[in-house]
A and B are shown apart, each in its own frame.
Chain A
Amino acid sequence: MAIDPQPEAVAAGGPGAGFPPAPAGVSAGTHGPWYLAYKRFVRNRVAVAFLGLFVLIVLFVLAAPIWADNVAHTGPNQTHTLQKLHVDGEVREVVTPEGKPIGPQLFEADGKFFLGADSRLGRDEMVRLMYGGRTSLLIGLTSALITTMTAILLGLLAGYYRGWIDTVIARTLDVLWSLPVFLIALALGIALAYGGLSIGPIELSGGSLWIPILVISIFTVPYIARPIRGEVLALSEKEFVEAAIAQGASPLRVMFGEILPNLASTIIVFFTLMFANNMLFEAGLSFLGAGVQAPNSSWGTMISVGEELLTTQPLLAIIPGVMIMLTVLALNIVGDGLRDALDPRSKVRLEAHAGIVEPKGASV
């Protein structure tokens, strides 16, 4: 039996904690497994490039108030229906009497209406794009966090206790898995957006961003919970878990101290893919009016507004769509890169997502 070379690191939840002790003779030397994974990730040029793209997108949406206050001098919901722009002595209407919004001005009007106006309401498209991106990313991130945490909890409970707890959880996940989740999420999204939610101390009005977040979180849990449960089932048969139980460790200690750290690489990868998946989910719901409600906006709601003017101002529908695509693509490629880096032996590649994060199962 090989002796764990870094027992302190495991106890402290340090950087070595996520990996089981290296098998004898395959010692990682002076570098920990996380360092090696980092090295492998950095060598993957494509993944690094798309990580860079994702960082740029995040910076872009974070800069929303700066742009709004200093360049556009307007807010995301401020209408400019009757306003006129003076460009090079020429007067341009933000919205024509026929209701056609102005096209992209770039820097011609000192950055005002950089991408034009959004609709007959004459709101600044660029400002809306930045603020809408905040909403989209926020919902994607928060719901991915909730999904992942719920899935970890369910997976640990089911995989560790087995018996009837496992049966109940696994069957529920199976049923949820086989349902047309998008359609049911649509129904729930509408019902809640209309009626609001009040469960115990939680009171949510129909317009709250928490409604799409919760709806998405509930329906995407099986995507992660099922694989995690499987891994917990396998891990709980391993010697180090049995050893911990034999030493009298409490179930909580075993689940969170022994098993959870070994799930780290799976969780990281799935979290990334879920983030992407949930952004698409949100965009689909919002596009149909069952997600983000006015006055909030997201890239999904922007597409549905822009789509009405497809013939005259096609960019209004296409630009937010491109933003969604770039963000989701970046997250998917980074997720794949992480998988390769964290578990190089894994045969699971994109094509094997089939049962895991399956492209159309929940998203759009």
Chain B
Amino acid sequence: MARFVLRRLAGMIAVLFAVSVIIFLVFNVVPATNPAQLLAGKNSTPTLVKSIEEEWGFDDSLPQQYVTMMKKVFTGELTSYKPRISVDEQIAERIPATLSLSIGAGLIWLFFGLLLGYFSALRAGGWLDRLLTAVSVAGISIPVFLIAPVLIYFLTYKVEIFPNGSYVPLTEDPWEWLTHLILPWVTLAILSVGFYSRVLRSNMLDAMNEDYVRTARAKGLSERKVMTRHVLRNSLIPIITLFGLDFGATIAGTAIITEVLYNLNGVGSYAAEAAVKFELPPIMGVTLYGAFFVVLVNTIVDIVYAYLDPRVRLGEAAAA
């Protein structure tokens, strides 16, 4: 197991390096315009561009430029230039909103997805099962920027059930924090519920035909124990990987749009605001930190997976 963890961590570092190189290429190499001009923002004075050029060393060799960029990101010197604002500080300030949104939504879709999936597997072919099939097809097709406007319009303007947008820190007022986040959570989670219930259901139906489930019955376990300890437990393992990937993709994707739609002032909104102004340093920072976070989550998930399914470790050792 220790060897497995070390291998995974090494893999993670390799991917993180790849990410940082990609980001470097995206900002400093690929665009046709002078990168100092890009960093300075639209309609900047030549003085500002000149000083950025020196600060970032765009005359240096590419590896040297890469080192400069990474140094800036990790020492908190990354700033947006009009006005001068520290990107790292902005991100740190906005992380609670982003995490509240993503983690809450993740827990909701996992909980309801698994709950519904479990019951639709027990009654495969029943009405719940058929409903969830339809919902899951719709789920992968409906964009959040359709759900959010509909929810906002009907539940905050037409009928004032929920407060409109904005984020209230948990430490400030837990109740307000909750009510402000309910709609964003639902927006982000609702479509995954159908999908996750489908995945669990089909995993469980496959598992029910496994020989070890017959063995479990033959040794006289109660039906409930057979379903939870053997069928459900084994069916949950692949979902962990799926959830890791989805959670990462949500934080670095759908959540950005949801933050914008609900005015949550999270890291995603920060990137979106910068995007509209063509302000590149914040995007550079958000992308790097976001990518690091996602890669970290995926690595943790891999390790948890290996812990839960001993065969994975074996396969890894055999491949080594």
Please give the residue numbers on chain A whose beta carbons come within 8 Å of chain B beta carbons, in ascending order. Answer: 175, 178-184, 186-188, 190-199, 203-204, 276, 280, 283-284, 287-290, 300, 303-304, 306-307, 310-311, 314, 317-318, 321-322, 324-325, 328-329, 332-333, 336, 349-354, 358-364
Ordered by A's residue number, 10 sampled pairs between the chains whose C-beta atoms are within 8 Å are A179-B19, A180-B290, A194-B278, A195-B32, A284-B145, A300-B145, A307-B149, A317-B145, A318-B150, A351-B201
Kindly state whether residue B153 has any CB partner on chain A within 8 Å. Answer: yes
Q: Which residues of A contact B257 (CB under 8 A)?
A: 284, 287-288, 364
| Listed stretches B64-72, B81-89, B241-249, B312-320; interface member | B241-249
Please give the residue numbers on chain B whose beta carbons come within 8 Å of chain A beta carbons, in ascending order. Answer: 14-15, 18-19, 22-23, 26-27, 30-33, 35, 37-38, 42, 133, 136-146, 149-150, 152-153, 157, 191-192, 195, 198-199, 201-202, 238, 242, 245-246, 248-254, 256-257, 260-261, 271-272, 274-276, 278, 280, 283-284, 286-287, 290-291, 294-295, 298
From the candidates B27, B146, B152, B251, name the one contacting A191 in the complex (CB within 8 A): B27
Q: Are B252 and A183 in contact (CB under 8 A)?
A: yes
Query: In the complex, what distance in Å separates the CA atom of A360 from the CA atom of B254?
Result: 8
Min CB gap A335→B, angstroms: 11
Q: Are B149 and A288 in contact (CB under 8 A)?
A: no
Q: Are A187 and B26 CB-contacts (below 8 A) given A179-B19, A310-B152, A321-B143? A: yes
Q: Are A180 and B253 in contact (CB under 8 A)?
A: yes
Query: In the complex, what distance in Å separates the CA atom of A350 from the CA atom of B27?
Result: 37
Scoring A300, A317, A351, A362 by chain B CB atoms within 10 A of each residue's CB, the highest score goes to A351
From the candidates A181, A276, A322, A354, name the one contacting B146 in the complex (CB within 8 A): A322
Closest to A311 in B: B157
Q: Which residues of B contact A303 (CB under 8 A)?
A: 145-146, 149
Given contacts A196-B33, A310-B152, A359-B191, 14 further A-B contacts (CB under 8 A): A180-B291, A183-B291, A186-B283, A190-B278, A303-B149, A311-B157, A314-B157, A321-B143, A321-B149, A332-B140, A351-B195, A360-B253, A361-B249, A364-B257
Q: Which residues of B contact A306 (CB under 8 A)?
A: 149
Q: Which residues of B contact A186 (CB under 8 A)?
A: 256, 271, 275, 283, 287
Q: How many A-B residue pairs have CB under 8 A?
A: 213
Q: Which residues of B contact A195 (CB under 8 A)?
A: 30-33, 35, 37-38
Q: Are B27 and A289 in contact (CB under 8 A)?
A: no
Q: Are B275 and A180 in contact (CB under 8 A)?
A: no
Q: Are B31 and A194 in contact (CB under 8 A)?
A: yes
Q: Which residues of A contact B275 (CB under 8 A)?
A: 186, 190, 288-290
Q: Are A310 and B249 CB-contacts (below 8 A) given A179-B294, A187-B27, A288-B256? A: no
Query: In the complex, what distance in Å separates the CA atom of A303 from the CA atom of B15?
Result: 35
Q: Which residues of A contact B146 (CB under 8 A)?
A: 303, 318, 321-322, 324-325
Q: Which residues of B contact A329 (CB under 8 A)?
A: 137-138, 141-142
Closest to A360 in B: B249
Q: Are A194 and B280 CB-contacts (below 8 A) given A175-B18, A283-B143, A351-B202? A: yes
Query: In the complex, what distance in Å separates the CA atom of A137 from the CA atom of B6?
Result: 46
Query: In the complex, what distance in Å separates the CA atom of A354 from the CA atom of B19?
Result: 24
Query: In the complex, what distance in Å separates the CA atom of A69 from the CA atom of B115?
Result: 54
A-B interface, 4 closest residue pairs, ranked by CB to CB distance from nearest: A195-B31, A321-B146, A180-B252, A182-B253
Query: In the complex, what distance in Å separates the CA atom of A193 from the CA atom of B277?
Result: 12
Q: Are B149 and A317 in contact (CB under 8 A)?
A: yes
Q: Which residues of A contact B31 (CB under 8 A)?
A: 191-192, 194-197
Query: In the complex, what distance in Å separates the CA atom of A182 from the CA atom of B271?
Result: 12
Q: Which residues of A contact B245 (CB under 8 A)?
A: 178, 358, 361
Closest to B248 in A: A180
From the candidates A190, A332, A361, name the one contacting B283 in the complex (CB within 8 A): A190
Query: In the complex, what distance in Å separates the CA atom of A328 from the CA atom of B141?
Result: 5
Q: Which residues of B contact A280 (CB under 8 A)?
A: 141, 143
Closest to B19 in A: A179
From the candidates A191, A198, A199, A358, name the one contacting B280 in the complex (CB within 8 A): A191
Q: Which residues of A contact B253 (CB under 8 A)?
A: 180-183, 284, 360, 362-364
Q: Which residues of B contact A190 (CB under 8 A)?
A: 274-275, 278, 280, 283
Min CB gap B288→A, angstroms: 9
Q: Are A178 and B295 in contact (CB under 8 A)?
A: yes
Query: In the complex, what distance in Å separates the CA atom of A322 from the CA atom of B147?
Result: 10
Q: Are A179 and B137 in contact (CB under 8 A)?
A: no
Min CB gap B129→A, angstroms: 12
Closest to A203 in B: B32
Q: Which residues of B contact A197 (CB under 8 A)?
A: 30-32
Q: Which residues of A contact B14 (CB under 8 A)?
A: 175
Min CB gap B162→A, angstroms: 14
